[in-house]
Amino acid sequence: MPATDTDRAAATPSGSTTILRLTVNNHPGVMLQICGLFARRAFNLEGIFCTAIGRGDTSRIWLTVDAADRLDQVVKQLAKLEDVLAVEDRADARDRVEAMAAMMGRIG
């Protein structure tokens, strides 16, 4: 998913964000678990993409989070959730996530 210059500008990421990739159990409450954690622990959450993967037992969630704001705590708290199977810091995927964000913004 190549990103154009326009796409990057549209996503306007702040310089201090990073990307987390989660693998989670796919059930109706899991998004609430993730978003609830960020809300109640007052962590910043800039963006979220979620979709079922494989045979639908698991989901992939991409999070854009504040890299400066207690990132270590964010990762540890996410890893503690029973439905979270893996947490990876994927700063390397920033361009692709930004492109996806830009695309989301364009969809009418």
E strands in the chain? 17-25, 45-53, 58-66, 84-89
Residues in touch with another protein (CB under 8 A): 28-29, 32-33, 36, 40, 72-73, 76-77, 79-83
Largest CA distance in the chain: 39
Q: Which is nearer to another protein, 38 or 49 (CB)?
A: 38
Shortest distance in whole angstroms from residue 32 CB to another protein: 7
Shortest distance in whole angstroms from residue 31 CB to another protein: 11
User: What is the rounded CA–CA span in Å between residue 24 and residue 58?
Assistant: 5
Q: Which is nearer to another protein, 27 or 106 (CB)?
A: 27
